Amino acid sequence: MSYYSGDAAAQPAAIGGSIFTYRGTGICIKLDTFLNILAKGEEPLVIVTNEGYFTKIYKYVTAYKGFVFFTESLDKLEFGSNIEVIYAQSLSTDI
């Protein structure tokens, strides 16, 4: 059974996968709030990337209760052993 019919079936392919960006639930928050959210999870997952040539900006992403939370910092954060960290080449926070 298809939920798309006619021209609507081609719409996700035409968008090129960015359909999830437009339907995202991403929330930009302050660093201290981000750390508080991490403290609430038993084994949280954090995705980290950095950008910038002269000044590094570290971007952090985690999920909590169905929402995706983003934050940025000029400092590289050190995480406890209970937090799984994935280092990514880039992150798209354009939600």
Q: Where are the domains of the chain?
A: 23-87
Tens of pLDDT, residues 11-67: 444 444 433 445 556 899 999 999 999 999 989 999 999 999 899 999 999 999 989
> pLDDT value at position 94?
60
The CATH class, in words, for 23-87 is alpha beta
**pTM value?**
0.71
> pLDDT value at position 9?
47
**Spatial contact of 83 and 46, defined as CB atoms under 8 Å apart:** yes
**Spatial contact of 71 and 60, defined as CB atoms under 8 Å apart:** yes
> pLDDT value at position 34?
97
